[in-house]
Amino acid sequence: MKDQILTLQAEVLAAISAAADAAALESVRIAYLGRSGSIPALLEKMRDVPKEERPIIGKLVNEFKTTVNEAFDSRKNALQDSADEQSVDATLPGRTQPYGSLHPVQQVIERSLEIFRRLGFAINEGPEVESEFNNFDALNTPKDHPARAEQDTFYILENALKPLGDKEGRRLLRTHTSPVQIRTMKTWQPPIRMVAPGRCYRRDEIDATHLMSFFQIEGLAIGEGVTLADLKGTLEYFFRELLGQDLQFRFRPHFFPFTEPSFEVDCARATKPGQPVKWLEICGCGMVDPQVLLNVGLDPEKYSGWAFGFGPERIAMLRHEIPDLRTFTENDVRFLQQFSKIG
Ligand code: DAH
């Protein structure tokens, strides 16, 4: 009996390791372990073993079963692993990770800051929740100015946050980035060259040309003997770098409470002779009003300066001929992907 077991064990183990694939292994299993296989047949014979030999033979049979089962399992796993390896098709195209990209408005902001950095401007940022003083009073905007009305500006509930001092007034979501001028002049020493990108808020009805939240880029230069010629030269250089060297400019007199004189800058692409020039308004600017300098403790006899502000959304619309502002905030990947080229 003992010899029979050992012979069968050797035979089964050899058959298992010879099985070349899962199907062959399965036929080995059926031949030896199946209902009419040779292992159950051998176990049948246990009955004829004399009583005194049973413990020894029984132990041998158990070891035999364990060995055979383990051999089966490990062969099965080995065959599975090599099948997995063979199923890798190296000729299939690779799976690429889709690249993310900057939003078209963010692209304009980054490119603008890059140009201003080259011109020696430092970047500053202010909070989106501002004081009424920084957003309006310090910028020479009178109490009865329409921009201050509650239907134009988002005010923060008085008791929702720690109240500010009397002079700072109420808190609000800033309506422009111009308060960063005030914050900068209060804390930096002239000469100042500063640009401030950031989000602004207004209680506008949303349509193709208005959003209730949008971006601005503010600029400020303060020093001794700073003139309007510096402002013109800087803005023309900047917009040509940003949008193309063929741009022409027009500085139209305008009014802003915090600059005097004030201008709106229009630009146009060069056209063929005889074709009409199409002017587009792109920027507000002017010489910092002496009263604003006084408001932040600077001596207008000693210092002069200029400021400007423009909307990067507008520049992105111009650059890509986008007709509707709302597409910038809808987050439709099909729209955004059109501006995703890297570099
Ligand atoms: N803050 C103005 C606005 O939101 C834009 C502006 C105009 C900014 C003239 C300036 C400036 O710095 O000098 O409409």
Are residues 183 and 294 both part of a single domain? yes
- Based on the fold, state whether residues 255 and 182 are members of the same structural domain: yes
* pLDDT band at residue 83 using 50, 70 and 90 as cut-offs: confident
Name the pTM for this structure: 0.73
37 found inside a domain: yes
* 128-148 average pLDDT score: 94
Answer yes or no: do 21 and 83 share one domain. Answer: yes
Question: How many domains would you assign to the chain?
Answer: 2
Average pLDDT of span 55-74: 82
The answer on 146 and 250 residing in a single domain is yes
Q: State which of 53, 87, 121 marks the end of a domain.
A: 87
- More confident call, 277 vs 47: 277
For residue 199, what are the domain limits?
104-339
Domain for residue 289, yes or no? yes
283 vs 34, 126, 218, 289, 321, CA distance in Å?
A: 88, 20, 10, 18, 18
Using the atom order of ligand 1, give the atom closest to the CA of residue 219: 12
Exposure string of 253-288, with b = 16+ CB inside 10 Å and e = fewer, is eeebbbbeebbbbbbeeeeeeeeeeeeeebbbbbbb
Quick check: is 317 in a domain?
Answer: yes
Q: From the CB of 201, is ligand 1 less than 6 Å away?
A: no
Same domain, 131 and 71: no
**Residue 200 CA, closest ligand 1 atom number:** 4
159 has pLDDT over 70: no
Q: Name the pairing type of β-strands 192-201 and 304-310.
A: unpaired
Q: What is the CATH number of the domain that holds 317?
A: 3.30.930.10
305 and 239 together in one domain: yes
My answer on whether 6 and 136 are in the same domain is no
Quick one: pLDDT at residue 343? 41
Report whether pLDDT(165) > 70: no
pLDDT score, position 164: 64
Q: What's the CA-to-centroid distance between 251 and ligand 1, angstroms? A: 14
